[in-house]
Amino acid sequence: MKRSSIQRTVKSLLNMRDRIRFDLPFQRNSVWKRDRRSYLIDSVIRDRYVPNILVWNNGDGYVWVVDGKQRWESVFMFNDGEYRLSKGTADFQNEVIANKKHAELSDDAKFEFLTYNFTVTEFSECTFEEVEEMFYRVNQAEPLTSTEKTRVKVSPDVREVVQELGSHLFFEKIAFTKADRNRYVDEKLMWQFLAYTSHADIDYSGASLNMFISNLDEVPRTIAEQVEHRLEFLDASFRNWNTKQRKVLKKVHVDTLFQIVEDAEKHAVTEERFGEWAASFLIDRYTVDSPYGQLCQKGATSKQGILNRKNYMLEDMQSWLKTAKH
């Protein structure tokens, strides 16, 4: 087996598109959702690191993609105008690119898109069996997501829905610590979202959540759609927050923010205004000794504690909207 690496710009990939094949038998279907594809394009436009694409050259003139199908598919689909960048996409060089298709981007953004270099590792002089083994080695080396680790608790249908929702890019904005992820706090937050949206009469203690999970035979489509919609709203609200600002998006605050999205929309609060209020509330005015800060310390998982935080945050938002300058 021989191996070599080359650079391929997006423009060159588009020019050789008819030679690129994604249909090796072991390949997965097109599984990325729009927000994940959008994040990839955002990385391309900003010239961020994207992992190597692995391809196989078996001498038949085609480029057989071994690992990287979702990435290159996302590039082609965006170029073809099949989806928009997500509402949570931050501005690029003072240009609003959120919710835009490729054709709607400025010439500068299009230039960055077309000139991005993918590192392509090509394998040759190897058999199909060797390529297939390489695919499984690469993918099995990836750590399981936290939702995958809960599969013993839920039915396959529930697991599929939770995996899709849990992969939403808003979770990348939340200030999870390494310890949080080791304790699967990100997973717990997703279950809390589902429990709240389902109007489950539970607190957020481990035992109560575990009971909710074990009794969940299915996630109704309407519930999944509501959760996804609120995640989209939050993602758009914090799209231009920098790394320092996102440090305040801790689990306890995000859970309450999620709960009041419905109230915000009932009062025609836009994502931008919601983000401005959240910055005022969580960055400018929040302290651990403030009334809301105290609510976050005491009885954080109890039913009354959850309700108290929601009511306080909701009242503050309504008050701020009445007095803040537009």
Quote the tokens at residue 227: 């959760």
Q: What is the pLDDT of residues 217-242, one digit of tens each?
A: 899 999 999 999 999 999 999 999 99
Per residue in 51-80, pLDDT tens?
999 999 999 999 999 999 999 999 999 999
Grouping H, G, I as helix, E, B as strand and the rest as coil, residue 3 is: strand
| pLDDT above 60 (res 111) | yes
Same domain, 87 and 172: no
Band (154; pLDDT cuts 50, 70, 90) = confident
**Collapsing DSSP states into helix, strand and coil, what is residue 21?**
strand
Residues 126 and 183 in one domain: no
Beta bridge partners of residue 20, listed in sequence order: 63
Does residue 117 sit in the same domain as residue 215?
no
Q: Which of 101-110, 140-149, 302-311, 316-325 has the lowest mean pLDDT?
A: 140-149
Measured distance CA(74)–CA(30) in Å, rounded? 9
Residue-wise pLDDT tens digits, 3-49: 999 999 999 999 999 999 998 887 777 778 888 999 999 999 999 99
> What's the mean per-residue pLDDT of the chain?
88
Here the tokens at position 79 are: 């170029």
Q: What is the mean pLDDT of residues 116-123?
A: 95
Domain of residue 131 covers: 2-140
pLDDT above 60: residue 145: no
Structural element, H or E, at residue 258: helix 251-266
Q: What is the mean pLDDT of residues 289-304?
A: 83
Same domain, 19 and 114: yes
Pick the last residue of a domain from 111, 140, 169. 140
Q: pLDDT tens, 166-203?
A: 888 899 899 888 777 656 777 788 889 999 999 998 88
- Mean pLDDT over 271-277 rounds to 96
* Position 128 pLDDT exceeds 80: yes
Per-residue model confidence (pLDDT) at position 169: 87
Q: Are residues 169 and 277 in the same domain?
A: yes
pLDDT value for 23: 87
Instruction: Decide if 114 contacts 9 (C-beta within 8 A).
Output: yes
User: Which pLDDT belongs to residue 216?
Assistant: 87
Vertex 251: Cα angle to 246 and 255 (nearest 5) = 110
pLDDT at 115 over 70: yes
222 and 281 together in one domain:
yes
**pLDDT at 141 (0 to 100):** 47
Q: Name the domain boundary from 110, 140, 170.
A: 140
In the chain, what percentage of residues exceed pLDDT 90? Answer: 62
Same domain, 136 and 156: no
Residue 212's pLDDT is 87
- Return the pLDDT at 151: 47
| Tokens representing residue 254 in the block | 């995000």
Instruction: Give the number of other CB atoms < 10 A from CB of residue 138.
Output: 15
Residues 177 and 88 in one domain: no
- What is the average pLDDT across 203-220? 84
Q: What is the pLDDT of residue 37?
A: 94
Residues 254-269: what's their mean pLDDT?
94
What does the buried/exposed string (b/e) look like for 216-239 if buried means 16 or more CB atoms within 10 Å of the residue's CB? beebeeebbebbbebbbbbbbbbb
Asked whether residue 94 falls in the same domain as residue 211, the answer is no
Same domain, 130 and 193: no
Residue 114 pLDDT class (50, 70, 90 cuts): very high
Structure token pair of residue 219? 């996630």
Does 24 lie in the same domain as 8?
Answer: yes
Top mean pLDDT of 202-216, 218-232, 292-306 is at 218-232
pLDDT band at residue 325 using 50, 70 and 90 as cut-offs: low
Residue that is last in its domain, among 115, 140, 165: 140
Residues 199 and 87 in one domain: no
Q: What is the pLDDT of residue 194?
A: 94
Structural domain total, the chain: 2
Distance CA 244, CA 233 (A): 21
